Amino acid sequence: MKPTPLFKAVNTGSFIRRIFNTLVFTAFVSLSYAQTPLGTTKVFGSIDGVSIAGKVQSPSGQATPLQVVCLFEYTEGDLTSPTALPENLNGMVHVDKALRGLITDLRKSGKFAGHAYETLLITPAPGTIPAKKLLLIGLGDRTKFSADLMTDIGRIGMREALRLGVDSYSHASDLKDAGIDSPTGPVAQNVVKGAMEAYETDLYLHQKGMAPAPKVKKVTLLAGPAFFTVSGEAIEAYIKSRK
């Protein structure tokens, strides 16, 4: 008579590979980038009177009039895949949990498909996240991602902020949360570039008497502990190039 196993075998090889890949990725991130403490904030400079800042913070914990987050088209388990950031560092997982699974529900049901440039504005319920408004912006097919896309994403975020009449907002690209090995510096630069192009268009319209004065005075880009320094250096270089 064969002994009864203590645990039922469940695709052990696949499970071990997943754990191994997660540990390797976490170690790589930790060793490759300086870890900046949670809550660190820095103003990198200003363009047209708008302060451009960075903060080490999950979008689930950021108090702001408008929080922008970005999502690819849904694939099962994409935010918890071996290539995604671990749960403790994964801002989109934090947002989804704080909203009681709403993000996953919207994506999985197709109510928010995540197509490129698709948007959905949410008013978070009390006791979920501190942001007054949450803007989802679609990034499209993850296999076709290019850092150039983030210029348009930056424009969309700023235009929504201008439309809402807020004086500040926060942006989280969330690319590494989704397991995309994106170029951190160029992504940050392109978000700022797009945002300021949208702002300057609105300012131009105001000067022509065709729009009210833009109210946005500060844009904060959120980053994980491992990516804050790289993002900040790239943003500072972009601001300097504008002078």
Contact 173, 70 (CB under 8 A): yes
> Could you tell me which of 114, 103, 85, 107 has the C-alpha nearest to residue 25?
85
Q: What is the dihedral of CA 182, 185, 191, 192, to 10 degrees?
A: 180
CA distances from 234 to 28, 54, 68, 87, 229 (A): 21, 11, 20, 26, 9
Contact 151, 194 (CB under 8 A): yes
Query: What is the overall mean pLDDT for the chain?
Result: 89
Mean pLDDT of 136-159: 97
Q: pTM, whole model, 2 decimals?
A: 0.85
Q: Tell me, what's the pLDDT at 29?
A: 43
Taken in order of first residue, the domains within the chain and their CATH numbers are 12-241 (3.40.220.10)
Length of the chain: 243
d(CA 30, CA 86): 12
User: Higher-confidence residue: 80 or 5?
Assistant: 80
pLDDT surpasses 90 at 10: no
Query: Tell me: the pLDDT tens digits for 115-145?
Result: 999 999 999 999 999 999 999 999 999 999 9
